[in-house]
Amino acid sequence: EGVGPQEYTLIKLKMLKPYPEKLKSLEKKNVYLVAATLRPETMYGQTNCWIHPDIPYVACELVNGDIFVSTKRAALNMSYQGFSKTDGKVDIVMELVGQDFMGAALSGPLTVYDKIYTLPMLTIKEGKGTGVVTSVPSDAPDDYAALRDLKKKQPFREKFGIKDEMVLPYDPVPIIDVPEYGDLCAVTACDQLKIQSQNDKDKLQEAKEKVYMKGFYEGVMKIGEFKGQKVQDVKKLVQAKMIKNNEAVKYME
């Protein structure tokens, strides 16, 4: 990571009705979980959204009346970036913890799945991005390892109130071809390094380093409007398309 501010794309994941019990009073509003990503071109392959069960989140009302769910820290950052009614002031409508909206149904931009769910990831950092992470197990080793953990371990699903149908039908989607790694590069890297679970920190770091650069410089899109084009040529175009369609916004921190 550099010393300057980092630009993320915030992906708007729209909460579908019925809202979870705790958020019922917001059902007349458009509620979005906002996931910070560095890889907008991978959104075709979203299979779920990660949240941390125990960290605090806030639901904030924006200047346009929409509700964004993120950590309070991210909401404060956003309030200085033109999202709030008043600069530097966060309009909190509800305080939450991740478990309050675990298993919520969402709809996300570009993904081949009509409906995806919030699922638990225990390695989410409270101090980075929004605390909400969209999951692309085809291209992100962390996402693949965490999804596989949930698929393999029924007690893990049960602990967080996750039903089988929120996890089992969701498989990594081939979206980008990476030379030597194929079209599910995160799966290949996790297999090669024999990664056992989302807690294999060092190996996951190695897997990320391996596929990240290679995906960016040599990856070719296999799906969508930019099929056949190189990742580095379309990243900004995919971002712009989602922003234009009101499905994403830029966010700095």
**Could you list the residues that contact ligand A2H (CB under 6 A)?**
1, 6, 36-39, 42, 124-125, 128-129, 131, 133-136, 139-140, 143, 208, 212
Q: 209-224 burial string, b = 16+ CB within 10 Å, else e?
A: ebbbebbbebbbbbeb
Q: How far is the CB of 20 from ligand A2H (least distance, A)?
A: 21
Closer to ligand A2H by Cβ: residue 79 or 130:
130
Q: How far is the CB of 200 from ligand A2H (least distance, A)?
A: 15
Tell me the residue ranges of DSSP E strands in 62-219.
Answer: 67-70, 92-97, 105-107, 116-120, 133-135, 176-177
How far apart CA 12 and CA 140 sit, in angstroms, is 19
Neighbours of 81 (CB within 10 A): 13
Q: How far is the CB of 45 from ligand A2H (least distance, A)?
A: 7
Closer to ligand A2H by Cβ: residue 139 or 149:
139
How far apart CA 218 and CA 239 sit, in angstroms, is 19
Closer to ligand A2H by Cβ: residue 10 or 31:
10
Q: How far is the CB of 144 from ligand A2H (least distance, A)?
A: 10
Residue nearest to ligand A2H (CB): 129
